Chain A
Amino acid sequence: MTVALREAVNAFRRAPMLSALSVTTIAFSLFAFGLFGLVALNIRDALGRIEDRVEIRAFLADRTPVEAAAAALGDIQAFPEVASASLVTPAQALDRARQELGEFSDVFDAAILPASIDVKLKPGSRDPASVRTVAQRIRTYDFIEDVRFGEEWIEKLYQIRNVATLAGTVLGLTFAIVAVIIIGSTIRMAVLARSREIAIMRVVGATDGFIRRPFLIEGAIKGALGGVAALLLTWATNEVIVRYVFAAAFFNLRLSLLGILAGALIGLVGSAFSVGRHLKHV
């Protein structure tokens, strides 16, 4: 292993230009993928924030006994899909309406706003079907006069989300495949540049595993370096967007490390593929 590691490191020293070219190519391929990832991340965050607003409001009939409302509230809070539920009195409803619709505050009167149970749902239970199921369950209480949850709005939100997920998956896969092809070609160049060395290694009795190992390590190092460079480029781009265009989220530490690891993995797999193909044909 130490020989393989030394040979991999020496490969950078012996062919610095080719190594720099490989790392740069990998960096730009991953940068394109990183930019796509950034867009996908921000779309997901934006949709997530909108999803947070998904809420069911169950209006209570006039003169519903407080005990009955409290019992129902306890039941609803125990629903598996429910994150939280709260009882809103007519006075609280009036306050909220005045806050939310300040310019029309003078037209509100406590008498026209009923009490309600406001239900927030857990992430994963905010799709139209789950919301509808919870709403129907709440409707079974006979003192519930009406249940509202903006059915049409939720349907549309989920349509957008599904389209975004599908487009994101297709585009992401395309970007990943293009990155793998470009990185594979770059590594193939490095392998071809050392075909003489490989031939000599074989003549002196090197096993394919011995020949392959330094290339795999070299590929993984190049991939990781390319990943770090791509991350820095993506970060710089994000900083420019945040400063001059709009606030955008960036990858957290886990995703950043995952990106570098993906670079190393692509480098490793690309190398394995290129060297394997080369060894089969010489």
Chain B
Amino acid sequence: MSNPHDGGGTVIRFTRVRKEYARTGVALDDISLAIGKGEFVFLTGPSGAGKSTILKLVFAEERPTAGEVKVASVSSAALRARDVARLRRKLGIVFQDFRLLEDRTVEANVGFALEVTGAPRASIAPRVSRLLTQVGLASKGSSLPRELSGGEQQRVAIARALVNDPLVLIADEPTGNLDERATRGVFELLRDINAAGTAVMMATHDLDLVKRSDCRTIEINHGRLVYDSGEGPSRGDGQ
């Protein structure tokens, strides 16, 4: 397969990646792909196709059985366990189930991700405030996650994912638990983030959402890459 992102503009590259699990067998086979800086890419395919495995390989929760995964110039072959945390600080990760700390306020949930990196205390509050404004939750800072709607909770998760100015935002079915209106809102937010220069890699089942947009689409089936629309026209333009 030809690669549209040779050179310094690539933030994620899979080269002939194979992933096998001891119990369930082959999850991915011979996957090669590249995602450029500022690109918006949908990852689609049926349940169990291997979408989440691809995302897990990106944020190094899993290691490839064969082949190489390169994220932000860090190769899976050279990645040591103690480097994983540093790599993740270059990424923003959003999940379907939000993964917020239920006993902490919205501000604390977002600020927590900054504390983890050892950010100076004085810098945390203004940055959190700015991010909450960016995701449209400026007035919800002192709320607990359970006091928010699903869409709002996902916005908090997105704000948390953005605290470290990531190169790529990885979103695993971020709209899977949301109604149509909230889905639209979260997707628009992701497009805005992408327009500001952050690459977005979003796994989704929502084919309507994929069809409505003009973003690059990569389809996975039975662990193999079966379709790649190539570099989309939406790269960084916010359309």
Contacts and interface: CB of A to CB of B under 8 A. Distances in A.
Nearest to A3: B115
Contacts of B88: 202-205
Contacts, number: 42
Given A197-B101, A200-B99, A205 B115 contact: no
A205 B164 contact: yes
A196 B59 CA distance: 18
B116 A201 contact: yes
A252 interface: no
Contact of B101 (A3, A200, A210): A200
> Quick one: which of A202, A205, A207 has the most chain B CB within 10 A?
A205
A208 B115 CA distance: 14
Contact of B103 (A14, A204, A205, A210): A14
Interface residues of A, number: 15
Interface residues of B, number: 21
- Grouping DSSP codes into helix (H, G, I), strand (E, B) and loop, the A interface class, with mixed when no group exceeds half, is helix
B113 A205 contact: yes
A175 to B, nearest CB: 37
Interface in A178-231: 196-197, 199-208, 210
B164 A203 contact: no
Contact of A207 (B82, B93, B100, B115): B82
A199 B103 contact: no
A274 to B, nearest CB: 19
A149 to B, nearest CB: 66
Contacts of B115: 3
A205 B101 contact: no
B116 A206 contact: yes
A205 B118 CA distance: 11
Interface in A99-155: none
Interface of B: 59, 82, 85-89, 93, 95, 99-101, 103, 112-113, 115-117, 160, 163-164
Given A205-B117, A205-B164, 12 more contacts: A14-B103, A201-B112, A201-B116, A203-B99, A204-B88, A204-B160, A204-B163, A205-B86, A205-B116, A206-B85, A206-B116, A207-B82
